[in-house]
Chains A and B, each alone.
Chain A
Amino acid sequence: MADTTSEKIPTVVADGVDIVYRVNGTGAGRGSATAALNRIVRRRQTEKAAGVRRVHAVKNVSFAAYKGEAIGLIGTNGSGKSTLLKAVAGLLPVERGRIYTNGQPSLLGVNAALMNDLTGERNVHLGGLAMGMSREQVKERYQEIVDFSGINDKGDFITLPMRTYSSGMAARLRFSIAAAKDHDVLLIDEALATGDRSFQKRSEARIRELRKHAGTVFLVSHNNKSIRDTCDRVLWLERGELRMDGPTADVLKEYEAFTNGKK
């Protein structure tokens, strides 16, 4: 695939990306209050002395993603997959390097915008608007979203507050809202494993449909089977570093050898 890069249209280009989290109030030893005071009084000291911990989540990652690709992101827990995805979406600032994108990549997920105290119905509207749909689009898709989620299969639950839903029902509704919009570059963070078996089948079908409309899809998952089923290229992140980038079968083989070897 290296030979054809010049003809393909890139949609996401990451150029030497570093992402660093700063966490306040981790001052070691006694009295973090004195550490905090110290931090304010002596502003010019190093961050470490001031009790600010730097977590270097992604280190010097470069890649180019092209139109029509479905790319899997794999790696053990805490290896920076979700962080990288958020940076591609423009939701986390990068420390060094640049991420270039074609259009606005969007994360599949609206959990944060939904409110448990509101009815499912209000949440569908709120979630749709939060993703940037217009009021008309939300109205148009409303029935589709409710039907897809299957919330009303067992009675009129959509008019009840979301806090009364079982965790599976809530997860189904969230996925249905999130999947209602078409995206240029779609970023999916382990969303395939929600709900019961029949809902999982429906979700996978919906993801395939979204892939057809989207230019490029990124999928973060620990499920090697769903990566194998959906992706043709895989990026392997380990401790924030890009360990491997290549066709799904090759990378997964190395990755499986790595994870099994650790046991």
Chain B
Amino acid sequence: MSQVLHTPPPATAPADDDLAALAARHGLTVSGARPTLPEYVRQLWARRHFITAFATAKLTAQYSQAKLGQVWQVMTPLLNAAVYYFIFGLLLQTKKGVPDYVPFLVTGVFVWTFTQSSIMAGTRAISGNLGLVRALHFPRAALPLSFCLQQLQQLLFSMAALAVILLCFGVPVAVSWVLAVPALVLQFTFNAGIAMIMARLGAKTPDLAQLMPFLLRTWMYVSGVMWSIDNLVASHNDLPSWVGPVLQANPAAVYIDLMRFALIDSFHASQLPPHVWAVAAGWALLAGAGGFIYFWKAEETYGRG
């Protein structure tokens, strides 16, 4: 390769400071720089159709190879609920003292699964889609948001199954079912916020995806998915006084209890922690806004291996 070493330096390449000045003179902007927060929100809004289309596409693609196809959207949550009922309802007899245990359990499992899979999907949102991040230009928050939206759509299928289960177990249709909507909106905001935080952490440390299932399972067991926090606190007087409020302020427990309160008539307002809507909204706001800003702060770094 020695024959080209004498190649003359290109005549058109000026010195480095000239290039910067040239760019400045013509109003060129730095490629791949992070946009301001309002600009970022605007870009994200402009991509809203992509976000929804990507979520729906992912959801549809999930079962497209299965013979039963989209029936699995409803079958999977039902089977999940059946397994949990077998273990916690029949084998371990956790249902002691909880009226309507099956609706109680199934609601808990579905609502928890929504948070769990949103966070898992968020953790892999950037690290698992590097091809997309490196090939196309779009606000990266579209990815974690899209995955959360996919989980929300999945939950809506589960909720349809849940409605059938509730009716089968004799839970009457009530006006309070409407409350499920604000509860879901708050939970979605919370999930999206945590998913964005995890997306940034997962982009830097992909190992988190291996660790998260264990953290999430621990979180599930303290969130009162299969048992009633209210009963536990009431029946164990020897517990330190802070245990009850701490267990009840857990965002996952808050969203699960709100959904139970909305859907199950034997789950009374007295079983809810005080100021439950304020707590639910507070968590949603804190995680949603905080997660979004945290994610945006590293926008220009996503895509490096």
Binding site for B on A (CB under 8 A): 1-2, 5, 9-16, 21-24, 62-64, 86-94, 98-102, 104-107, 109-113, 115, 117-118, 122, 125-126, 129-132, 134-135, 161, 242-246, 254, 257-258, 261-262
A92 B11 Cβ-Cβ under 8 A? no
B22 A10 Cβ-Cβ under 8 A? yes
Beta-carbon contacts under 8 Å, B9-30 to A: 10-14, 16, 19-20, 22-23, 26-30
Query: Of B26, B31, B53, B301, which contacts A90 at CB under 8 A?
Result: B31
| Min C-beta distance of A256 to chain B, whole Å | 11
Whether, in the assembled complex, B235 has its beta carbon less than 8 Å from a beta carbon of chain A, the answer is: no
The interface size of chain B toward A, counting residues with CB under 8 Å, comes to 48
A245 B10 Cβ-Cβ under 8 A? yes
B32 A13 Cβ-Cβ under 8 A? no
B135 A9 Cβ-Cβ under 8 A? no
| Min C-beta distance of A74 to chain B, whole Å | 13
> Can you name 8 extra interface pairs (CB under 8 A) apart from A13-B19, A92-B32?
A63-B13, A64-B12, A89-B31, A112-B136, A130-B136, A258-B4, A261-B3, A262-B1
| Min C-beta distance of A71 to chain B, whole Å | 11
Q: Mark B253-286, 1 if CB is under 8 A from A, else 0.
A: 0000000000000000000000000000000000
A100 B30 Cβ-Cβ under 8 A? yes
Given A101-B29, A118-B60, residue A113 in contact with residue B135 (CB < 8 A): yes
A22 B1 Cβ-Cβ under 8 A? no
B7 A90 Cβ-Cβ under 8 A? no
Given A100-B23, A102-B26, A132-B138, residue A1 in contact with residue B12 (CB < 8 A): yes
Given A9-B26, A63-B13, A88-B31, residue A126 in contact with residue B57 (CB < 8 A): yes
Minimal Cβ-Cβ distance residue in B for A244 = B7
Whether, in the assembled complex, B83 has its beta carbon less than 8 Å from a beta carbon of chain A, the answer is: no
Whether, in the assembled complex, B236 has its beta carbon less than 8 Å from a beta carbon of chain A, the answer is: no
Whether, in the assembled complex, B65 has its beta carbon less than 8 Å from a beta carbon of chain A, the answer is: yes
Minimal Cβ-Cβ distance residue in B for A239 = B1
The distance in angstroms between the C-alpha atoms of A115 and B136, with both chains bound, is: 15
A126 B12 Cβ-Cβ under 8 A? no
Q: Mark B21-64, 1 if CB is under 8 A from A, else 0.
A: 01100111111110000000000001101100110011011001
